[in-house]
Structure 1
Amino acid sequence: MIRNKFAFSMPEYMEVLPHRSLMDGIAETAGVPVEALRLLLTILAGYPIAAIYLKFLASINDKVVHHMFFASCGAGLCYFNYGNDTYHSLLGIMTTYFLALFLRNATTIFLTINFLFHMTYLLLGYYYTASNEYDILWTMPHCILVLRMIGFGFDLTDGLKSEDALSKDQKETALKELPSPLELLAFAYFPSGFLVGPQFPYRRYQNFIDGKYREYEGSYDAGIRRFGAGAFYLIVCQVGLSYLPDSYFLTPEFAGEPFLNRIYMLGFWAKFSLYKYISCWLLTEGALICIGLTYRGVDSEGNPDWSGCSNVKLKLLETGNTMEHYVQSFNVNTNQWVGQYIYKRLKFLNNRTISYGAALGFLAVWHGYHSGYYMTFLMEYMVVSTEKQITRFYTKVVLPKWGHILENSDIYKLLYFVVLKSYNIVYMGWCLVAFVFLKYERWIIVYGAVNYYGFVVLIGWAAFYHSYRQLTRGGSRREAGEDRKLQEKKSEEISKSEEKKPEEKKAD
């Protein structure tokens, strides 16, 4: 693995950490990489941290104590994972603080420098630590920090504007005053929030510290339920990937399977691979719910809603039938962040397509240099667009002609369900291949092993759809022309008949 000249040298600091040999032994016994074990332990640490805070510190009126607790816990957990590489996040946090301190009133300059600094630093980190795998390095929490600091910068500049100039979202996140360095460190290093997300604005942390969420009950029970869901998904992920490991899809044995077996195996593998991320987010969210950070208001029944930091919509994820459902239910907070700080900030372009493309482009760059990221987001754009075209064709062409027959057919309803579910499974596999295998030399092998069916279907549909539109457009134009000629002929006949009427009356 390539390391950079800026001391991105994990082996050196690991050799001197006292827990190195113990962690290696536990990881070897469990059969997992030591970095993955550290990550899991750090996520689970959010639960005892929540218990300690609620029992001993929550009632203390001095807010400095709260900030010190969260800053020290988060920074300590970061050091537990990345050792001396923790300085990267410290440098990023303090850079944003001093930029805000001196340049906040120069809004455009501040936002530009803050954005470019964090994105450039992150991309340099990716460059010097890149490998063929998804590595658990300091760049993983740093990409979370980058979004948090960029969003924090926007919130500070929004605080300088009048209320009338702000959108609803901006009013909820705008900051009138610059927090202290300790407060910013506590916000950035908040345990169970700095490592794998979720994203949340400083105002949420501020409201939490002010005790605005502690008056509501039920967070502990809701947090434990989320923990149970996370543990379940983690087990399913481990069992599933033990039967369908990533490496299998690069082998001749996989390419030799019958075609239907290949595409369904790829689809189930994709589900298991997604569960790896989902389990981490659920376990993280459970700890945040337990500590009481995630209050969102009340639900339809008047009970406290603790889903304010939810990063996955489980019901939609498991019952949805389209790729758009996956987009709406997966990595929710990051998508919301991009929507608020990228997509909506490009409103001045007055073009939703360009804004959407720019948002997806930002997400791809934010993930790194690997071609797989760009292919994944390109596939997302193409597949979601195709789904909308198919839906439009189905509702405007198929249903008007045969809807009365299809809707009364139980066989059709069953077939409709099976086709959608099969599409959901099969195309999820196609779309996730590039994201997991990253390098072109790897994901193109998997694409080839399944006969490039994803491209074939997308191109085939595009050819059919645009040909159909051209034909129907031509037909509708001909029909409109014939109607116009018929109308003109009728008008002429009416005018002639009206001219004859006076003569007929005169003759009479």
Structure 2
Amino acid sequence: MTKYIEEEPSDAGLMGAIANVGGVTPEALRLLLTLMAGYPIAAVYTKYIAEVPFKTLHHIFFFSCGAGLCYFNYGADTYHSLLGILVTYLLVLFLRHNIKLMIGLNFVFHMTYLLLGYFFTSSNEYDILWTMPHCILVLRMIGFGFDVSDGLKAPEALSNEQKETALPQVPSLLELLAFAYFPSGFLIGPQFPLRRYQKFINGDYRQHEGNVEAGMRRLATGVFYLIVCQVGLSFLPDSYFLTPEFAQVGFIKRIYLLGFWAKFCLYKYISCWLLTEGALIYIGFSYKGKDEHGQPDWSGCSNVKLILLETGNTMEHYVQSFNVNTNQWVGQYIYKRLRFLNNRTISYGAALGFLAIWHGYHSGYYMAFVMEYIVVTTEKQITNFYDKVVLPQYGHFLNNSDMYKVLYFVALKSYNIVFMGWCLAAFVFLKYERWIVVFGAVNYYGFIYLLIWMAFYQSYRHFTRKSSRSNEDVTGAKSKTQ
């Protein structure tokens, strides 16, 4: 990050002065200004360009706005994204009829380029560098390659999902640039296919009303979450959890503090996604169809399910409600395309492994995704045990006990808060030397809980299988005697 600031002395000085007033870094201020720029861009487009039948003008507008904002943030490093887009276009243009070669080269090029970028720019912090929008671009270009290949296949060979995104014709380079640099989507997402951009340009969404009001509501929600995040992290900064003072706090208080800190950290991402989504709704880009009341549904580019996030009580609820578009992208382009392995566990592990590599080299990413896999699996085991063992024996009493319902709710919400802190710590602190300090400060309670459950569940399954075999032997012996 220091290197980046030195390369832009004049701009950093101006941004630094303004950023100091708000207590943020210049890079973070540029990021926020870029997200907010989506709203005036949407207003200009809606008023002056939306109804112009000359599509090239639309592409020029979005490409110039997006590329200009990219240059505002990263200066000359904008060439990284331009190079990536150009390479993908050439691969698709000349190799699309050799599907496997085109997809393979496109995938390897983008992942290699991204990982090299991480290698030369990474530090101990989550840096706001050119690699941040580039990781969004990598998914967009890889998905574009798959969509082009799907467009060459017979319709009956495609799933319904693939039929929605397949591209029977290769777009122009200008259209691809406009799609890649779409102002409210290139910086932090969300992911969306080229077919959505084409439908938007064709005016398929313009006849629907309510987008401006819905976009402004999302903007207000994003601002609210941003304020909560800033206030919360001012009381619980990341650095506090690396101090001896935190380790000396009472254990129960420690794990709850870590849990609330994790919520505030999540709000940092959520607020940015909401600001971006609001601009996409405002411009009318995120139309999804009609809701149950027959009204336009503008959640087509939503990256967070707020209600599920705030009311959920398991880690799986967090997975389902957080970074939705990226998870959907991985599901569509990685997980489902590994069906030939005929093993969901391997496919799921491969998808999580891809996500970890896509994030970078830091051990914290890998620990976070390993924990996600283990914790979600553990939750499913606990649910299965509860449904098959506890409820059949005690369900009538438990379902009629108000006290139990209260305790059940409190226990789940406590687990939800406490374990979120454990699972997110490695993701935020990145380096082993840092996240292991946080794990040690809370007595490694996450590992202990998981090991205890693993021992109990495996013992339960062992004795259950043994008892089942004994019963089968007894039944078989009786049938032979008869």
Q: Tell me, which stretches of 5 or more residues in structure 2 are unaligned?
A: none
Q: In the alignment, what sits opposite 2:77?
A: 85
Aligned to 1:467: 459
Structure 2 residue 403 is matched with structure 1 residue 416: no
* Counterpart secondary structure, 2:204: coil
Secondary structure in 1 aligned to 2:136? helix
Find the counterpart in structure 2 of residue 41 from structure 1.
33
Partner of 1:94: 86
- The count of corresponding residues between Structure 1 and Structure 2 is 482
2:145 is the counterpart of 1:153: yes
Kept after mapping to 2: 8 A contact 1:78/1:86: yes
Q: How does 1:297-446 map to 2 (within 5 A)?
A: 297-446=289-438
Work out whether residues 5 and 12 of structure 2, in 8 Å CA contact, stay in contact via their aligned partners in 1: no
Match 1:481 to one of 469, 473, 481:
473
1:142 is aligned to 2:138: no
Partner of 2:415: helix, strand, or coil?
helix
Question: What is the aligned partner in structure 2 of residue 60 from structure 1?
Answer: 52
- Map 1:244-263 onto structure 2 (within 5 A): 244-263=236-255
Deviates more, 1:466-475 or 1:201-210: 466-475
Separation in structure 2 between the aligned mates of residue 383 and residue 240 of structure 1, nearest angstrom: 26
Q: CA deviation at 1:262?
A: 0.5
Indicate which of 6, 10, 31 corresponds to 2:4: 10
**C-alpha separation between the residues in 2 aligned to 1:15 and 1:84?**
13
Deviation at 1:318, TM superposition (A): 0.5
Structure 1, unpaired ranges of 5+: 3-8, 492-508
Contact 2:150 2:158 survives alignment (8 Å): yes
8 Å CA contact 2:12, 2:26 repeated in 1 = no
Tell me by how many angstroms 1:68 deviates: 0.4
Which residue does the alignment assign to 1:227? Answer: 219
Aligned pairs for 1:26-37 within 5 A: 26-37=18-29
Alignment-derived partner of residue 503 in structure 1: none
CA RMSD of the aligned region, Å? 1.0
The alpha carbon displacement at 1:474 in A equals: 1.1
- In 2, distance between residues paired with 1:15 and 1:424? 44
1:501 — aligned with what? none
For residue 8 of structure 2, what is the amino acid of its counterpart? M
1:458 pairs with 2:450: yes
Query: 1:198 touches 1:334 (CA, 8 Å); kept in 2?
Result: yes
Report how far residue 483 of structure 1 moved: 2.5
> One-letter code of the match for 2:401?
S
Q: Secondary structure of 2:8's match?
A: helix
Identity of aligned residues (%): 72
- Are 1:273 and 2:273 counterparts? no
Which residue identity lines up with residue 14 of structure 1 in the other structure? E
Report deviation, 1:31.
Answer: 1.0
Q: How does 1:115-126 map to 2 (within 5 A)?
A: 115-126=107-118
**Cα contact 1:46–1:191 (8 A) shared by 2:** yes
**Displacement of 1:22:** 2.3
Q: What SS does the corresponding residue of 1:45 show, helix, strand or coil? A: helix
**Is 1:207 matched with 2:199?**
yes
Q: 2:169 aligns with which of 162, 169, 177?
A: 177
Conserved 8 A contact 2:165-2:194: yes
- For the pair shown, which has the larger CA radius of gyration, 1 or 2? 1
Q: Among 219, 227, 232, which residue is 1:240 paired with?
A: 232
> Where does residue 73 of structure 1 map in the other structure?
65
The CA deviation at 1:479 is 2.1
- 1:502 counterpart residue number: none
Change (3 A) 1:12 1:265: closer
Residue 399 of structure 1, CA deviation: 0.3
- Structure 2: how far apart are the matches of 1:245 and 1:277? 16
SS at match of 1:457: helix
Report the counterpart of residue 180 of structure 2 in structure 1.
Answer: 188
Deviation at 1:473, TM superposition (A): 1.4
Q: Give the conservation status (yes or no) of the 8 Å contact 1:13–1:83.
A: no
Spell out, residue by residue over 1:339-359, the C-alpha distance to the aligned partner (whole angstroms, 9 max, x if none).
Answer: 000001111111111111100
Once the 2 structures are TM-superposed, how far is the Cα of residue 10 of structure 1 from its aligned partner?
2.4
Tell me how far apart the structure 1 counterparts of residues 22 and 301 of structure 2 sit (CA, whole Å).
31
Instruction: From 122, 128, 146, give the equivalent of 1:130.
Output: 122
How high is the TM-score relative to the length of structure 2?
A: 0.99
Q: In structure 2, how many angstroms separate the alpha carbons of the residues matched to 1:46 and 1:63?
A: 20
Q: CA deviation at 1:12?
A: 4.9
| 1:23 match | 15
The 2-side partners of 1:13 and 1:477 are apart by 71
CA–CA separation in structure 1 for the residues paired with 2:42 and 2:353: 37
Partner Cα distance (1:95, 1:70) in 2: 20
* Partner Cα separation in structure 1 for residue 405 and residue 154 of structure 2: 54
Instruction: Tell me how far apart the structure 2 counterparts of residues 477 and 368 of structure 1 sit (CA, whole Å).
Output: 48
Secondary structure (helix, strand or coil) at the match of 2:474 reads: helix
Distance (Å, rounded) in 2 between the aligned partners of 1:426 and 1:412: 21
C-alpha displacement of 1:368 = 0.2
Query: Once the 2 structures are TM-superposed, how far is the Cα of residue 94 of structure 1 from its aligned partner?
Result: 0.6
Is residue 13–residue 84 contact of structure 1 (8 Å, CA) maintained in 2? Answer: no
Determine if contact 1:10/1:83 at 8 Å carries over to the other structure.
Answer: no
Report the 3-state secondary structure (helix = DSSP H, G, I; strand = E; otherwise coil) of the residue aligned with 1:312. Answer: coil
Distance 1:24 1:406 in 2: 59
